[in-house]
Amino acid sequence: MSRPRQNALLESAGAMIASFLKGRGFALAAPVDARFQTTEHGSSGVDVTIALEDPSKAAAARAAIHEHFRCGSGVDAVTVR
């Protein structure tokens, strides 16, 4: 029996980032968590949380994500630990 889908957009965002990190040699300690977030001005974006097996590589993973996906518009957020 498969688990019900929560949200295709969030699942896709999490899967895309997980695949990206694994392809660059980062080992994940848990599944990527993606949620919608809304700013105080009503803009919506995605808030992604990633747990690495080696937290000392968090800064490198964060930099790779920001460079590849061009995060940082103030709407989307990425937390790597």
Domain residue ranges in the chain: 8-80
pTM across the whole model: 0.79
pLDDT at position 60 is 96
Q: Taking residues 46-55, what's their average pLDDT?
A: 93
Please compute the mean of the pLDDT values over residues 30-46 and round it to a whole number: 85
Q: Kindly indicate the confidence band of residue 49, based on its pLDDT and cuts at 50, 70 and 90.
A: very high
Annotate 15-33 with b (16+ C-beta within 10 A) or e (fewer): eebbebbeeeebeeeeebe
